[in-house]
Structure 1
Amino acid sequence: MPLREPDNLIGESSCFLECLEKVSRAAALNRPVLVVGERGTGKELIASRLHYLSSRWEQPFIKLNCAAINENLLESELFGHEAGSFTGAKGKHSGRFELADRGTLFLDELATSSPLVQEKLLRVIEYGEFERVGGNRTLTVDVRLVAATNEDLPTLAEQGKFRHDLLDRLAFDVITLPPLRERKEDLLLLAHHFAVKMSVELGESVFKGFSEYAENQLIDYHWPGNVRELKNVIERSIYLNATDSPIEALNLDPFESPFRPGQSKKPVSSNTPNKAPAGIEFPLDLKQYSQDTEINVIKQALEHAQFNQKKTAELLNLTYHQLRGYLKKYSLIDG
């Protein structure tokens, strides 16, 4: 019995539901499908869904990331090789097309493939035929091809970097995944899903939720890494939350540190004399002056950190909770 597809295709936004509906229609046809989307949008999950909703669902679902294979070895990985066909080829090797016979082959990052591989792919798509590297016997397979890319293939074809005829064959139907920044309605839904799963993994009985500030972070952040980045951010934030309270703020950047290489500030010379602030007139109300100074410094730090409270706390050498105390003390935040 084949494994079920991953259950992470979650969303209620209209653009995402339209995409899933298109996947369901395309799954029933024995035609190539091209899946296009930014990194982290779930192209492999879509390919898996295409396979498991098709009549081939009980047959192999084979995957290969073309960008992860050396160009000289990619042809062998796809089509196999005969013994002695090249240095190190000690025995016959079955390629991914043979392994995927009667099933589905998912090729990720196809835009990185060489012209020779593209030519052989075109022949397999058109006739179902190929030869192993170093072989002269024609093999026949029945494979449905699903390819994925985050590149603009029509532009690459115009530039001569991708075969027009292969693109025509692959693009029987093109499924373009919306980036997460266009799925605002799905952000909290996905975040809660990942948070609950991480809480269970950590042995917690219940997920305490997100603060209003953390929810605003979810909505305002642009998520360049899409769903994959969201999952990492949520899991990291749950893991770092040492209290039983809701997640106060998301840890968006794990590299954020005053000691990050290249980020250190120029040291202040110990010979530089401390100067009193100019413009002070005595007598003065020291308590009020200190309060006004604290408020002014905190406001400037907030602006400098683009109102990221975690960064602001680091700029002021405070803990996050100490900063929250100051913000509430001076009514600089709601609640």
Structure 2
Amino acid sequence: MAENVKNLIARLGRPGPYDVRVGDLGVAGLPGRVYVPVNGSGGAGRTGRKKRTSVPGLVFAHDWRISADAYHVTLRNLASWGIAVAAPDTETGFRPDHRGFAADLESSLTILAGVKLGDGATVVDVNRLYLAGHGMGAGAAVLTATGRPVTSPGSGDTPSLAGVIAVYPSDTTPSCYEAARVVEAPALVLDAGRPGSVPTGNAGRLAANWRGPVGYRNILKGSPAGFSEPVLRKVGLGGAGLEFAVQDLIRALIIGFIAGDGAVDTREAKAFTPLHRFGADLPDIKGTSTATRRELFESFPEFFDPGEKLQDAILHR
């Protein structure tokens, strides 16, 4: 791995240059939390009309049977790099409504793009909006992304989606895998290298089906329940332990994906660009492996060719 990428991952896994203020999303009519970057030396803020500072915005969706508070350290870390984060705390029951959760994520995007943050001097840039989620929340984020316009040079004042980050996505109803076929926004899809005891989803299929540019990365020491922070829940759902290093890595990859698009700090956008690449252009990063869309498709059971496998085994024995 190139030394500069290694250093970037280490830097982005730590808190960034902004102080963070935590607020209540319920003030806007939806249960949850809001994390707002304030008083920092980073370059995420851009002065726009009425001399207000605009920052990128991200809506984060929680996993099954868990609240937004289970990601407090992660969400605070994202905000410390200049990203305003909204985390709705809905559909936490045993039988969640995935379509309803996706609607709540849509509402959260609308709230982020339409309200003043902090002391009123900060707003979210409507062309720097991102969706992210873990497990069930990742699948719901994909459902939300369908039909949303993608950020482009001509987006103007129309709210548009700049990217989607899916961490260990789970199955949803309707299918997030089918929804991925129509999502044109760039995506980062992270897969768990270690299986859990509870059936989850298929990150490889999600990435292979993605219509827009996609980067697939397997977190070799990650387990499906390992990204959330409550230890007792992780032990109960899949035997995940203290995955602090893995959590730091995933936080760095999320921030790097956004920063590499120039959304966090235009002064360092070029340095972060390797973390916003797709397919075969993804850089090597310790503790992860990558696969192209074609490699993912070829790994699916429906594309298995026993004759080809036998021939390959004979040629390489």
With the shorter chain as reference, the TM-score category is under 0.3
Q: Which structure shows the bigger proportion of residues in helix conformation?
A: 1
Larger radius of gyration: 1
Q: Which structure shows the bigger proportion of residues in strand conformation?
A: 2
